[in-house]
Structure 1
Amino acid sequence: MTMSKGEQPIRFDDGAAYERGMGIWSQLVANEFLDWLALPHGKRWIDVGCGNGAFTESLISRCMPHETQAIDQSEDQLDFARKRKAVGSAVFQQADAMALPFDDDRFDAAVMALVIFFVPNPAGGVAEMTRVVRPGGLVAAYAWDIAGGGLPFEPIRSELARMGVKLPMPPQAEVSGLKALQRVWAASGLESVETRVISVQRIFGNFDEFWSTSMLIGGLAETVAAMASSRAELLRWRVRTLMRTNEVGQIVCDAKANTVRGLVPM
């Protein structure tokens, strides 16, 4: 996956770094999301924009699919995904979310996990998922609630904004809202469209762990590195004052994702 920063794309190619920075967060949402979808075991799934396979792994462990196909544009991410121990017989291949290399009606379910706001034309991406899912099948997604302050690194983003520093956001960030997701799914002809908010929480041993982990997320490290050292230190101090701790002094960080699902018409 890539996201734009002016003319310079921010790439998500390091699977191990993505795992620490975002993959764990994604799986926290995935577990509740998949329970909400509640599909029986033994179905045929496609994971669109699978990245390093974090969601794919959750899908396989919780849904026990008969077939799992997973596509992404980054071969480096796919290489990491293929080496996961729990992905079983999942097939990973390089492909474009806007042109899925599968026949019509091939799958029982198509899912995008933290991807819809990176697709150049979100409606076109949903149309492609709908095309490859059989009548009566499921098309679903989840995305961080960007406008609602749901990003895992929201304390850093908000303080950067107060300091007049704009952090690069996904190019189609507006589609992450609940109403926007509802509109895109309904406009694609999907039926019984439902949305839901999923809130998750991650515990870090200390502030340094939270900070270093967040810096692995695309765009953050580059943005902070471009600041004067004194301003970067001020940023750290201001973020630290915002963070919540538990009774043993660990950092408690919250995030929020918007989810959507719909059925392909019979």
Structure 2
Amino acid sequence: MKSEFSQSATYQKDQLMSQGKIKFEDASGYDQMMGFWSQLVGDKFLKWLAPKKGQRWLDIGCGGGAFTEQLMLSCAPSYLAGVDPSEDQLAFAQQRSSLKTAEFRKADAMELPFGENEFDAATMALVLFFVPEPRRGVAEMLRVTRPGASISAYVWDIHNGGFPPEPIKAQLQKMGVELPLPPSSDISKMTKLRSLWTEFQLSDIETEVIKVSRRFDNFDDFWSITTNSASIKMGIVELTYQSFS
């Protein structure tokens, strides 16, 4: 039994932790965990942005469409597009009944499949720290938006305990398991984020700290939902592998 389980754990480890990258292959599980959190933040984020109705919007790194749906329902865009590198996530987004008129494309945030000046607003919801070169990502946002457009982003405060699965992450670290960080996790620091926008000499730069909380019915509810986090899954597989190797 030990050998069989160990082989299974090894296979899972190879699948989930290839090259130490965080993968988002379980769109439904990811939406159950992160989609809800994203919408909690997204509500406050959109109230803060206070965008005009009827604009052309681009949601970069749209994932399963949780925030894209908020854009559709709150902003009444004249056109709404979402891009993401994951086909599974895009397929999940396309299943949302409220997004039937939205256009989705598989694309990299650093190489957007649009021409210049096509959008009135572009945003990245919980995405910028996953972009290997944030500067290129912002440059692309500027390229595809018209002069005077709005570009925006929000991120978790990863280095200061602002990651929703932080309690599990902290416990795994105590057990010797280090979870992979997004490739550009430093951009989650407010000083780095503001510096990035300033580098492009943008006008009317504003930053805001947004705080949200979520209540779970009990520990089992918290565990079953939170362990859908891609990085937490990787950490649990690594811990299992260490235990049986």
Fold agreement, TM-score > 0.5: yes
Verify: 1:117 aligned to 2:129, yes or no.
Answer: yes
In structure 2, what is the equivalent of residue 200 of structure 1?
212
Once the two structures are superposed, the pairs formed by residues 1-266 of structure 1 within 5 Å of their partners are 7-227=19-239
Q: Give the C-alpha shift of residue 44 in structure 1.
A: 0.5
Secondary structure of the corresponding residue to residue 136 of structure 1: strand
Q: Give the C-alpha shift of residue 222 in structure 1.
A: 2.6
Q: Give the C-alpha shift of residue 188 in structure 1.
A: 2.1
The code of the aligned residue for 1:60 comes to: M
Q: Distance in 1 between matches of 2:93 and 2:131?
A: 20
The 3 A distance-change label for structure 1 pair 5 and 45 is same
Identity in percent: 47
Gaps of 5+ in 1: 232-266
Q: Give the C-alpha shift of residue 177 in structure 1.
A: 1.1
In structure 2, what is the equivalent of residue 240 of structure 1?
none
Q: Give the C-alpha shift of residue 219 in structure 1.
A: 2.0
The code of the aligned residue for 2:31 comes to: E
Residues 39, 70 of structure 2: 8 Å contact kept: yes
Q: Give the C-alpha shift of residue 221 in structure 1.
A: 2.0
TM-score, with length taken from structure 1 = 0.82
The CA deviation string for residues 136-175 of structure 1, in whole angstroms up to 9 with x for no partner, is 1101000000112101011111222233321111111000
Q: Distance in 2 between matches of 1:165 and 1:14?
A: 22
The 3 A distance-change label for structure 1 pair 78 and 228 is closer
Q: Give the C-alpha shift of residue 227 in structure 1.
A: 2.0
**Structure whose residues are more often strand by fraction:** 1
Q: Give the C-alpha shift of residue 225 in structure 1.
A: 3.0
Q: Distance in 1 between matches of 2:94 and 2:62?
A: 11
Q: Distance in 2 between matches of 1:120 and 1:215?
A: 25
Q: Distance in 2 between matches of 1:30 and 1:166?
A: 29
TM-score, with length taken from structure 2 = 0.88
Q: Distance in 2 between matches of 1:230 and 1:43?
A: 51
Residues 22, 182 of structure 2: 8 Å contact kept: no
Gaps of 5+ in 2: 1-15
The CA deviation string for residues 90-131 of structure 1, in whole angstroms up to 9 with x for no partner, is 101111111111111111100000110110100110010011
